[in-house]
Amino acid sequence: MGLLWNFLAMIWYQLTFKPKPLSDDIWLWGQTAIVTGSNAGLGFEAAKELALHGLSRLILGVRDAARGEAARAEIARLAPECKIEVWSLDQESWESIVAFGERVDRQLDRVDIALLNAGLKRLEFSQSPTGHEAHVQVNHLGTALLSLLLVGRLRRTARETRKPGRMSITASSVAFWARLSDVQEPQGGNGILAWLDNPASFVPGENHYCVSKLLNVLWTRALAIHLYPRDIVLNTFNPGYCRSQFHREDPRGESMAKYLAFDTAQGGYHLTDAVIRHPNSHGAYLSEQTIRPVPQEISSAKGMDSQQFLWDETLALFERECPEVDIEEFRRG
């Protein structure tokens, strides 16, 4: 019943809601934004909209440099006063993620906005070069590590400007198509990430993608608890079902998109809405461009236990696989 209700709610949302762009009175002059997954699709549209609202500096974090340069040229044509740079970011590589974070600290005098949008969707099991299942690596681990690496610069900027920094993580309503039991102590007792990395856990289709989006929601809620004093507003959000290359490996998803999906610009409006508006959304989940409660299962005692379990396991993994990254402050939080 829960899955059917979530599916029907998604259809209703797609058919009745009209996403809204940022209002004309929002002006971002002087600010610097980082947008990952920004060479195409929703990330590109969000980066473009931020630039068109007077942003002074824009960092496009992309895996494909050539496509990133094409995106930079298009945005620069529309917003010539914005300084736009293309930076390499491969969320299937610890070295690339750490190098990106170090470059942020070294080269950017400020970061006001971080929109973490890079992700993937596959229907068959695949493994990243790190050894982790691809959805686990890119959608959760890569995003989680980058979120930690950006906290310092966002926090320093917030203190200098006396204005909270903003960070948003792209999730999806399909996060709640996954079962909470999928992120509780699984078979073998070795942890949820180890189990999701195991090919035996993979059910062909969207299940691992849905679980990875649930991990995004749980990670955001856990990280928000550790961001005190609250000089960074962190949230996660549902961008809706959109027509984009994101569904290129899912023929059924592409077919449904013809009838239900928002276009990429409308999808991008959800990204900019989450990272610019809603100053009271710290730790919250947004859908239909407003703060929405997470399902009761997520906010229950079991949900909070799963959230803490994921937090502890993810930090322990970073300590093993990325020992050069200092995460001690998050252990203390």
Read off the pLDDT of residues 23-79 as tens digits, 9 standing for 90 and up.
Answer: 999 999 999 999 999 999 999 999 999 999 999 999 999 999 999 999 999 999 999
Average pLDDT over residues 218-236: 93
Closest by CA to 69, choosing from 49, 40, 39, 43, is: 39
Residue 150 has pLDDT above 80, yes or no: yes
Instruction: Please tell me whether the peptide bond between 229 and the residue prior to it is cis, using omega within 30 degrees of 0.
Output: yes
Q: What are the structure tokens assigned to 6, written together?
A: 């979530």
Read off the pLDDT of residues 280-304 as tens digits, 9 standing for 90 and up.
Answer: 999 999 999 999 999 999 999 999 9
- The residues carrying an active-site annotation are 172, 209, 213
User: How large is the greatest C-alpha to C-alpha distance in the chain, in angstroms?
Assistant: 56
Q: CATH number, domain at 15?
A: 3.40.50.720
Region label for 163, one of left (φ > 0), alpha (ψ between -120 and 50) or beta (otherwise): beta
Question: How many structural domains does the chain have?
Answer: 1
Average pLDDT over residues 8-26: 85
- Bridge partners, 169 (sequence order): 116, 236
Pairwise CA distance, residues 111 & 100, whole Å:
13
User: Reading across the β-sheet that carries 232-237, which strands appear in turn?
Assistant: 83-88, 57-62, 32-36, 113-116, 165-170, 232-237, 285-287, 290-292
Strands (E), the chain: 32-36, 57-62, 83-88, 113-116, 165-170, 232-237, 285-287, 290-292
Angle formed at CA 295 by CA 11 and CA 203, multiple of 5 degrees: 70
**Type of residue numbered 250:** D
Domain that holds residue 238: 2-332
**3-state SS assignment for residue 249:** coil
Read off the pLDDT of residues 161-195 as tens digits, 9 standing for 90 and up.
Answer: 999 999 999 999 999 988 887 777 655 567 889 99
